[in-house]
């Protein structure tokens, strides 16, 4: 059985103060080449240390309203991933309740795509 490897590449352009100005990513096997992005959250599990390694970046011109929507979508995605990984209906439901609360408090239902 042959093993395949693939590459996902993230490029971060920094200003003179080392603050992200531009984020692009590529995943050639997925058909993505130099896709612009305004923010990213990356989490990796270190099994030896039993801890999560995180990289959270966003460009300095990312509007707050878009950041709020981004956070909500990340939280919702985490809920979905948690459920797929554990099949824990009860906790996934509680997680969804929090996502709904987050959206309601920030009035995200009123946000429109531009």
DSSP code for 29: G
Q: What is the model's pTM?
A: 0.85
Residues β-bridged to residue 108: none
pLDDT digits (tens, 9 = 90+) for 71-91: 999 999 999 999 999 999 999
Q: Name the pLDDT band for 2 (thresholds 50, 70, 90).
A: confident
pLDDT of residue 13: 98
pLDDT digits (tens, 9 = 90+) for 21-76: 999 999 999 999 999 999 999 999 999 999 999 999 999 999 999 999 999 999 99
Using DSSP's 3-state secondary structure scheme, residue 43 falls into: strand
Structure tokens at 77: 């995605």
Structure tokens at 80: 């979905």
Cα Rg of the chain (Å, integer) = 17
């Amino acid at each position: 059985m042959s093993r395949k490897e693939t590459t996902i590449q993230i490029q971060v352009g920094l200003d003179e103060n080392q603050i992200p100005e531009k984020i692009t990513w590529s995943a050639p096997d997925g058909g993505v080449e130099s896709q612009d992005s305004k923010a990213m959250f990356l989490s990796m599990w270190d099994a030896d240390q039993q801890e999560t390694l995180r990289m959270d970046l966003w460009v300095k011109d990312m509007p707050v309203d878009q950041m709020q929507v981004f956070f909500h979508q990340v939280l919702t995605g985490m809920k979905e991933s948690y459920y797929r990984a554990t099949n824990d209906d009860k906790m996934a439901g509680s997680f969804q309740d929090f996502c709904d609360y987050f959206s309601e408090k920030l009035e995200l239902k009123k946000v429109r795509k531009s």
